[in-house]
Structure 1
């Protein structure tokens, strides 16, 4: 009787541990289930992410984030989507250049000394 109870408890513990271990890999990421039907050309995207099977999602998509922090799912094979991705990349590079201090080329000019 005690052996039967012990085996039942061990089996129940094993089942609980296995189900918890399967949930560890799932971080609860939001996945696109379908592509947006709205036109991509009119949105003002600030960034984008690529979604694929490696991120744990079934649908391969480009997820744009707008200035109002909305997420828009789009097909990565659509030419308008690829153009918008390039525009976001260009804007990111331009903003990154603005953040850097100006570089001096050559020797700095000598300042005139003031007479007191």
Structure 2
């Protein structure tokens, strides 16, 4: 085998290997934003504007409720905690109240539930 054909073989093999490695990692869990543990401190309801659910049946390893705060931070919590159940009930109640006010759901012409969030509400007026 000549040096030229060996070099061509190595280059082609390297190229194919690099493509396969990139494809394998594209499906891995590091491409997702998963909760890996829960917060120990309750988040006051006035700082929460929405939540979504994370399932362990998908890529992530634990079931969790992900709260979105008014500062656009995500907080992971256990759905078994009493404060989490209470916050979810209050957010769902607020969302129902907002949807009763107008046909579009929140009275300002914008959607009340963007993307994958289960409930997104605006803070109560003072």
TM-score, normalized by the shorter chain, greater than 0.5: yes
Looking at both structures, which has the greater relative contact order when contacts are Cα pairs under 8 Å and sequence separation is at least 6? Answer: 2
Q: 1:18 to 1:54 in 2, by over 3 A?
A: farther
Q: Equivalent residue of 2:45, what SS? A: coil
How far residue 62 of structure 1 moved from its aligned partner, in angstroms, is: 0.6
In the alignment, is residue 92 of structure 1 matched against residue 95 of structure 2?
yes
| CA–CA separation in structure 1 for the residues paired with 2:57 and 2:7 | 42
In the alignment, is residue 39 of structure 1 matched against residue 42 of structure 2?
yes
Question: Which has the higher Rg, Structure 1 or Structure 2?
Answer: 1
Task: Indicate the larger mover: 16-25 or 85-94.
Answer: 16-25
2:73 aligns with one of 55, 70, 83? 70
How far residue 95 of structure 1 moved from its aligned partner, in angstroms, is: 0.8
C-alpha RMSD over aligned residues: 2.4
| CA–CA separation in structure 2 for the residues paired with 1:93 and 1:83 | 15
Q: TM-score, normalised by structure 2?
A: 0.64
Structure 1: state its 5+ residue gaps.
102-116
